[in-house]
């Protein structure tokens, strides 16, 4: 029964990650469309201004600005899969009024698969967003992701509620079900690749770190 539950949770996490990747690929396609149309927008504005019709030019700009506000900014880390999952999760955090600071620069073609990377980073960000919901004061996520030689290094600090009791390498929570499984999945994948992972809970803050071989 435990094995069946585990496999169902793995399947759920995998499907969730695929869905997030497709959502952000859709965002990317839409943004490319705006880039393609940029020249046409400039020509339209120029024609209004040449005709002295400032009012219509302003209305056009306002409409364009409103449409662009609905397109989430796609992060560019150098790795397509990371661009996708980071953009999706950080857009979610922004919608929940969580202040996000990101510094990420990662090459493409890592030995860790795109799907595994999206599961790990996506689950850690899910955990951070959920922790921010319990924070009483400032809500923030500060994330760093980059290479140290041939190793991929991830570090994240986020606001949280009271300090959580630790069981092994993970933490007990008041919630049941699949909550907390994301941390287990992330830890499992990193360790399967010979990596190191650490989580730490303090009062009002939570940190996540991992270091994993990523280049041949």
Please enumerate in sequence order all residues whose Cβ is within 8 A of that of 117, keeping only pairs 6 or more positions apart, or say none.
Answer: 79, 81, 82, 85, 110
Instruction: Please write the tens of the pLDDT for every residue from 106-161.
Output: 887 888 888 888 889 988 998 999 999 988 889 999 999 999 999 999 999 999 99
Domains of the chain listed by start with CATH number: 2-69 (no CATH), 80-213 (3.30.565.10)
Does residue 177 come out as left (phi exceeding 0), alpha (psi in the -120 to 50 range) or beta? left
pTM as predicted: 0.69
Instruction: Please write the tens of the pLDDT for every residue from 48-85.
Output: 999 999 999 999 888 877 766 655 556 788 887 788 78
Residue appearing with tokens 């989430």? 72
The average confidence (pLDDT) of the chain is 81
pLDDT score, position 108: 78
Return d(Cα 154, Cα 141) in angstroms, integer: 13
Return d(Cα 194, Cα 58) in angstroms, integer: 57
Return d(Cα 111, Cα 151) in angstroms, integer: 10
Confidence of residue 177 (pLDDT cuts 50, 70, 90): very low
pLDDT score, position 36: 65
Confidence of residue 33 (pLDDT cuts 50, 70, 90): low
The mean pLDDT value for 29-40 works out to 68
């Amino acid at each position: 029964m435990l094995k069946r539950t585990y496999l169902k949770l793995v399947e759920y996490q995998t499907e969730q990650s695929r869905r997030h990747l497709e959502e952000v690929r859709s965002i990317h396609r839409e943004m490319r469309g705006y880039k393609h149309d940029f020249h046409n927008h400039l020509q339209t504005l120029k024609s209004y201004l040449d005709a002295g019709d400032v009012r219509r030019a302003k209305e056009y700009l306002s409409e364009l600005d409103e449409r662009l506000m609905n397109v989430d900014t796609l992060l560019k880390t150098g790795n397509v899969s990371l661009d996708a999952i980071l953009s999706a999760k950080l857009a979610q955090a922004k919608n929940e009024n969580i202040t996000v600071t990101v510094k990420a620069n990662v090459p493409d073609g890592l030995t860790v698969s795109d799907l595994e990377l999206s599961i790990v980073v996506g689950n850690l960000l899910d955990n951070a967003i959920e922790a921010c919901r319990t924070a009483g004061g400032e809500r923030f996520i500060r994330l760093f992701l980059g290479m140290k030689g041939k190793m991929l290094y991830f570090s994240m600090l986020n606001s949280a509620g009271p300090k959580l009791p630790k069981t092994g390498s993970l933490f007990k929570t008041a919630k049941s079900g699949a909550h907390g499984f994301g941390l287990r999945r992330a830890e499992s994948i990193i360790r399967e690749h010979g990596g190191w992972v650490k989580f730490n809970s303090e009062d009002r803050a939570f940190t996540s770190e991992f270091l994993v071989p990523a280049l041949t």
